[in-house]
Every structure is written in C-alpha cells, then in structure tokens.
Amino acid sequence: MARPRKKPDYNAKIIMDDFLKDIAEYYEESPEVSLRDVAAEFDITLLKARKLLITAGVYSTDASVQIQELKEQGKTITEIMDKMGLSRASVHSYLPYKKGIYNARELSLDAERSRRYRQRKLAVIRLREAPSNLELLWDAIEAFTDYPFRTEYKGLKFKYQVKGNEIFIDRKKKSVTRSTVVLAYQKMREAEEIRKAKDLGTFGASYLYPIFIRLGVLGE
C-alpha cells in the first residue's frame, strides 16, 4: 500500500505561522517598537516588516485600510498606485500575504530568522534571571553575533563577531576583550548615573553601551 503523500505546504505553513507569531510578539512588546526596529531585529526590509505585521493583524494605518478596501473593491495594483501615489512595492507592502503562497528560499531564511530571534530572546531572559552569572552574559553576547546595532550618539550601524574571548566589531580595528566586556557590564549594573556610553569609561564603550541596552542591562 502506497504511503500517503505529505501536504507540500504543511511545513511551509508552520514556518510562516511561527514567523508571524515571532514578528507580532516583538512588535507588541512595547509601544516604542517601530517598523524600523522590527526590520532590524529580523534582518528584513521595512516593506516586508509592514506586510508581515499586517498579515499578523497587529499593524494598521489609514493607508493600509484604504489600500485593502480598494483591493477588495476590485481595483488593480496599478489603479491603487495611481490613486495613492505609491510605488508598486509600497502598495504590495500594505496588503497581507495570501494564504498558501510561499517562496521556498524566503521561507528557509524566515525559519532561520525565527530561530535566531528565539535564541536571542532566551539568552536575554536567562541573563535577566541571573544577572551576576558572567557565563550567561557571554552566552548572550554570542547570541547577538551579526545583530544590527546602532551607536547611541551618532546612530552608526555596526555588527560584531565573537572569536574565542574577543569581540570583533566591524567598525573597529582592535577587538574588545571579554574582560573589558565584563568590566563594562559590571559598571553598568552597579553605577547609578550611567546614562550614556562615555559614562562606562572603558575601551569600546560606544559599542558596548547599545549592546547592554539591548540585553536589558540597567543600573540597580
């Protein structure tokens, strides 16, 4: 007897549903989270971030409502473009994904994005539960490898790689050692008046400060 065929879009649907859940969860964490934050967190474009949030049902604007109403009225994308004064890509970004339509390559990337998001989230939770555990600090640092950060003052984009006990920041020639990271971390946890990067007073402070902010490190 022949084995029953698996539904070809079953795994695809699970991946898409999980990704939508992660995107929505992050967006709804705080009213301060913006589309740009979502795009950065998941390494996607602003247009894709908007489309995913609309699909998840957690994002709506006057423009998205109007565009979806026009589409439901039978207007073509070109007609909507003309009426709204938007590009084709922008119009599509205001419309939710159609059920069952998946791009295999993009789904694979989205699955990896979800995996890394959950890995980072777990690392942050563990560190917050045991902030004095320096092994958990380094685990969190490693989890945010290749994460798109911005410096506090100038807003310069940067990422880093972890090799052994050093952080190699793409905008900096010299590495930041683990001992320096620990020193800055302890200062940020213990001091009452650290409100900007230079208050850390350590090498690489302008890069470590936004990393610690993302990890939820606050003075006690």
pLDDT tens string 9-36: 448 888 889 999 999 999 999 888 999 9
Could you tell me if 97 and 139 lie in one domain?
no
**How are beta strands 160-163 and 157-158 bridged, if at all?**
unpaired
Question: Does the structure show a pLDDT above 80 at 4?
Answer: no
What are the DSSP calls for 44-91, one per residue?
A: --HHHHHHHHHHHT----HHHHHHHHHHHTT--HHHHHHHHT--HHHH
My answer on whether 142 and 183 are in the same domain is yes
**22: amino acid identity, one letter:** D
Q: Among 88, 104, 120, identify where a domain stops.
A: 104
Position 142 in a domain: yes
Does 17 fall in a domain? Answer: yes
Q: Is the same domain home to 87 and 170?
A: no
- The answer as to whether 184 is a domain residue is yes
**165 & 84 share domain:** no
Which of 63, 89, 104 is where one domain is finished? 104
CB 49 within 8 Å of CB 23: yes
Give the contacts of 177 (CB within 8 A, at least 6 positions apart).
165, 166, 167
DSSP 5: P
Q: What does the pLDDT read at residue 7?
A: 46
Q: Work out how many domains the chain is built from and give that number.
A: 2
Q: Please say which residue of 86, 104, 122 terminates a domain.
A: 104
**Do residues 140 and 100 share a domain?**
no
Domain that holds residue 169: 131-215
Judge whether 123 and 140 are in contact, CB under 8 Å: yes
pTM for the model stands at 0.81
Whether 111 maps to a domain, the answer reads: no
Q: Is 61 exposed, middle or buried (0-12, 13-18, 19+ CB in 10 A)?
A: exposed
Rg of the Cα trace of the chain?
Answer: 21
Confidence of residue 190 (pLDDT cuts 50, 70, 90): confident
Residue 115 lies in a domain: no
Residue 152 lies in a domain: yes
